[in-house]
Amino acid sequence: MSGGLLVAGTTSDAGKSVLTAGICRWLHRQGVKVAPFKAQNMSNNSAVVVGPDGRGGEIGRAQAMQAAACGLAPDLRFNPVLLKPGSDHASQVVLLGEAVDTVTAGNYRELRPRLAGTAFAALAELRAAYDVVICEGAGSPAEVNLRAGDYVNMGLARHAGLPTIVVGDIDRGGVFASMFGTVALLDPADQALIAGFVINKFRGDLGLLQPGLDMLHRVTGRPTYGVLPWELDLWLDAEDSLAYGRVLGRPGAPYGTDWLDVAVIRLPRISNATDVEALATEPGVRVRLTVEPAELAAADLVVLPGSKSTVADLAWLRETGLADAVLAHAAAGKPLLGICGGFQMLARAIHDPVESRQGSVPGLGLLPIEITFDPRKTVRQSTGTAAGDVPVRGYEIHHGYVSATEPALPPLLHHADGSAEGALVGAVHGTHWHGAFESDGFRRRFLTEVARLAGRTGFRVAPDTAFAAARERTLDLLGDLVEEHLDTAALWRLIESGAPAGLPFIPPGAPPA
């Protein structure tokens, strides 16, 4: 068979990514050879995949998570088009893992046929290689201003004949109106592929919800395949930092007597915010995202995360007073960490003729290095050690590189070939590596040093926290939710046979696309 399904949503962050991953994990448990797919993703949270030519390429972080749910290594075809916003008006285009262009509203129409063709070809290859492909839409299929030329939502469903389910977040309110309106704004051919609905993030008595589900069925002629409950433990591998609340996850009680407070600056163009998720899995470590200078004063560790626009986000730090708060934190001898773009901001100077095209600008001056941007993008997986013997794995995605440094500057890490990576000056740490804290030994060593520098003498790292196991628990939880709360027999019929014939048309509908 070559089955497929499209998971669409009433809005962004309705639950498409987690539902797709849950369905993938459910099918994988049944012994089905299943793969995920998202034709186009707009996100600065990406993962590095080694392509067939041995070079590193990027896909959306959510698709890497969905691949793990399928028991697969990530594949560039799982997310053939990735748009990485660098400003409010332009995004870098990553096509089958490689940065190829910059897209704006002005030139997107010109690029779209090429992007669509690449996406359609990737899906065809996957459907030939796997029993089932579970596809994730983007935003909402009812964004009628974008329907012409769409290849991510109903344009993809129509092209590939995919039955479609629509997921809505009831926690936002108005879920029944948004479900009905999503269908009613589509043209007849699109509506014919919308098979039914899934409610996400429900809290309370399901009996109180049932009259609404019954009415939705009556007015649309389509069933609700299930209601997923609110689940606090679903926070790892967020597609966007906006999916986080102020505090990541649910911090466990400390293993020792002291807590560690970690403040992560939520940059306007933050990228790979998932770097700090591993810290948040540790008992006694409270990780919070903030844009308030005053909140840095009480933090034991301040993190400057990655950025898709280093120079612009550095200017924002200065405009908001956060730069002064970072400098005061460092002057007090308290731990500071810069990752990728955040590492670059710590430099004495940044020379950028590529990303911002602003030439040379002063950095925060906390590390004796200079950063220069190169048109060639470094995208690779990395391995090495810290403190001489602690193994570390990570990945790199950056245009900037260290172009000048003091000869005696101690590195934070070493690459596998022995070359230096990052910098460590007093309590100021910096690295280009993403994902390093997923290495359990390195994370424990780092947090132990942070606690020492911050004077948290009662903090102890737990000896048994395993990040990979935490991620697997999340994927298993998603599979459990699908098995326990959705009509999996009905989902299987959709995957195997397509959308039911004779689904009613809901007026007014859009003109045919």
**434 among known catalytic residues:** yes
Half-sphere exposure of 47 (CA within 13 A, CB side): 24
Phi and psi torsions of 20, nearest 5°: -60, -45
**429 among known catalytic residues:** no
Whole-angstrom Cα distance, residue 224 to residue 217?
7
- The torsion region of residue 503 among left (phi > 0), alpha (psi -120 to 50) and beta comes to beta
Within 10 Å of residue 20's Cβ, how many Cβ atoms? 27
Catalytic residue among 429, 432, 434, 485: 434
- Alpha-carbon torsion (112, 114, 117, 120), positive or negative: negative
CB proximity list for 373: less than 8 A, separation 6 or greater: 350, 351, 352, 353, 354, 355, 399, 400, 401
Whole-angstrom Cα distance, residue 422 to residue 323?
21
CB proximity list for 472: less than 8 A, separation 6 or greater: 68
Whole-angstrom Cα distance, residue 242 to residue 232?
16
Catalytic residue among 340, 351, 399, 432: 340
> Contact 371/365 with Cβ under 8 angstroms?
no
Q: What amino acid is encoded at 21 in this protein? A: A
> Contact 85/42 with Cβ under 8 angstroms?
yes
Hey, which residues are catalytic here? Answer: 340, 434
